[in-house]
Structure 1
Amino acid sequence: MLEFELLRTFVTVADCGGFHRAAERLNLTQSTVSQQIKRLEAEARRPLFRRTTRSVALTDDGEMLLGDARHLLQLEEAARHRLLAPQLSGTVRLGAVEEVAGGSLPPALGRFATLHPHVKLEVQIGVSAELIAQLDAGRLDVVLAKRPLGTSRGRLAWREPLVWAAADTFMPIAGAALPLALYREHSVSREAALNALRDSDLAWQIVYTSPSLTGVRAAALAGLAITPLPASVVGPGLRVLGTAQGLPRLPDLEFAIFEKKRADAAATALAAALASLTQSAARPGA
């Protein structure tokens, strides 16, 4: 049975490329690190490193063990975290924008529920400005939403482009005003789009409004209008339009985590779980 302590030392040596730097990172002596690697090699019954006076490199067996060792250490860390995590309870009221709710939010909530099974979650889906207003009024504890343009409030989670989206079959009519499908008032995407259009020479008109992502996407998919969307939610049936089609450039969106003042331990723990979304490959948007 391979010991986690030895595997942790093995991975650190591989990452650091040598025993001396690994010892510094682990706060151990170099001789202790060397002894632990010898013990691991004895248990594995094969050499894991090729050592020279100038470098340390993994053997083929070491390369094969490295991935398994990382996985085992991740499992060990997760198990230890579950055992040592505080036994939180109570109810946390979460507000989230629609695009996130259908994307990477469910895995984050699932992980949180596993770690804190005694915490009840109440989730409300809405538009950023409305959710932040409810947070300020004390009706929500944590919000994952777009930052209002030009502000730095909240904990930045990620940035992504805001783009013009239209149906694959959409063809603008020469000389006609550009038809727009927008969120109703108090939307970051709406404000960004209108600001960009006001600074351009384009003629445009709002032909469709909706309080939801589903609504504005439906209008775009039907070919009724173009709409500003986070790049990650453009999806099948829509294409991105840009400066090549004469449209003004749109700013990046900033998604942030907002917490109420004097949040309790359960709300703080949920905000930390949401912060892990920054390491996700998918970047959703609302």
Structure 2
Amino acid sequence: MTNANRPVLNLDLDLLRTFVAVADLNTFAAAAVAVRRTQSAVSQQMQRLEQLIGKELFARHGRNKLLTEHGIQFLGYARKILQFNDEACTSLMYSDIEGALTIGASDDTADTILPYILHRVTSVFPKLSIAVSVKRSPEMLEMLHQGKTDLVITTMNSEVFPHILLRTSPTLWYCAADYQFRPEEPISLVVLDEPSPFRTLALEHLTAAGIPWRIAYVASTLSAVRAAVKAGLGVTVRSVEMMSPGLRVLGEAEGLPRLPETRYFLCKNPHHENELTTAIFSVIGSGNKSYVPPVDASPSSDVKKPPSDTSLKDAI
């Protein structure tokens, strides 16, 4: 019998879940904890999976389980199979739920992360009525605290609120494409008015590095910051989501300090929680890697492409 005539195999979803856990965590021991099985049971499952598909999935390198070429190829399919299975089950489970949902988003997530959150929510809960409010992160968290919104996408993580890490993005120094950066002069900064975590981040890292700075322009909105930077008024700090034509990235080559990554969270308020928000939070938490995309920073003649976001290796 040729390979072309071989019967199609029916893959066991439990085996696939364990395989993905081993691939992500690199050891049978860690995967066993994740899938709530014994280490020997995980080992037996992987042996069964390899026998089923007739290929070696793991290279034998001590305790660490590295994927073979076939393993890497199979991993992508395993993730998609599990994703579609879970989405189908979830969609049927919640398809009849009705209600109103309010989502708050910070300025820099309104056209990047928010659309994919909305797509995920509406695909699972098609009968929901959704209202969206876009404000700065401190305002969003205050609205969440007051119960004026159900969920918030923000860069400011508060331990007070249960949260899901949606993505991790590089944080960069931006200036206009034709900006003349002069390291011998105090850095002219374009910042948001207080409170602003990116403003605080820039000032703290410049001060710690002994680099002189001055506030050249203060704005109340992200669009005003972007406009001022493109006009050549100075340098600003934002996550990679701000990248757009007309901007370029400065960095260590210009003597500027490396910045910590920006983390985006989805938060809820347990004191103003209901069955609907609990279900939505659970759905997003179980599948966030499948719908939050990597940053698309298309290079142009006057744009330096920033480093790509590596936190979402499963994004499609």
Q: TM-score, normalised by structure 2?
A: 0.65
Structure 1 equivalent of residue 151 of structure 2? 142
Which among 118, 123, 137 is matched to residue 128 of structure 1?
137
Which is further off, 6-15 or 179-188? Answer: 6-15
Offset at residue 114 of structure 1 (A): 2.0
Deviation at 1:95, TM superposition (A): 0.8
> What residue is the counterpart of 2:274 in the other structure?
264
Q: Given the alignment, which residue of 294, 308, 316 partners 1:282? A: 294
Q: From 108, 111, 127, give the equivalent of 1:118.
A: 127
User: Per-residue displacement from partner, 1:137-174 (whole Å, max 9, x unpaired)?
Assistant: 221121110126xx645425133332211122111346
- For structure 2, which runs of at least 5 residues remain unmatched after alignment? 1-6, 23-31, 61-71, 297-308, 310-316
- Deviation track 1:15-37 (CA, whole Å, cap 9, x = no partner) reads 78xxxx9x989x9xx9xx98x99
Q: Is the 8 A contact 1:156 1:254 kept in 2?
A: no
1:24-173 to 2 correspondences below 5 Å? 49=54, 74-85=83-94, 87-147=96-156, 152-154=159-161, 155-157=163-165, 158-173=167-182
- 1:236 maps to 245
The alignment partner of 1:218 has SS state of helix
Within the candidate set 190, 197, 208, 2:199 is matched to: 190
- Tell me the distance in 1 between the aligned counterparts of 2:75 and 2:240: 36
Is the contact between residue 183 and residue 254 of structure 2 (CA under 8 Å) also seen in structure 1? no
State how far apart, in whole Å, the 2-side matches of 1:94 and 1:14 are.
Answer: 35
Deviation for aligned residue 1:102? 0.6
Per-residue Cα deviation, 1:222-267 (whole angstroms, up to 9, x for no partner): 2221110102432333222223323234333232222112411222
* 8 Å contact from structure 1 (residues 108, 273) kept in 2: no
2:187 maps to 1:178: yes
CA distance in 2 between partners of 1:84 and 1:225 (Å): 52
Q: Is the 8 A contact 1:93 1:140 kept in 2?
A: yes
Mapped partners of 2:225, 2:153: distance in 1 = 20
Structure 1 pair 7–95 and aligned structure 2 pair: CA distance change class (3 A): same
- Alpha-carbon distance change, 142 to 50 in structure 1, aligned in 2, over 3 angstroms: closer
Q: Structure 1 length as normaliser, TM-score?
A: 0.71
Looking at CA atoms only, which structure, 1 or 2, has the larger radius of gyration? 1
Amino acid at match of 1:49: G
Using a 3 Å threshold, how does the CA distance of structure 1 residues 93 and 73 change in structure 2: closer, same or farther?
closer
Give the aligned partner of residue 60 of structure 1: none
Percent identical: 25
Matched, 1:218 2:230: no
Total equivalences in the alignment: 262
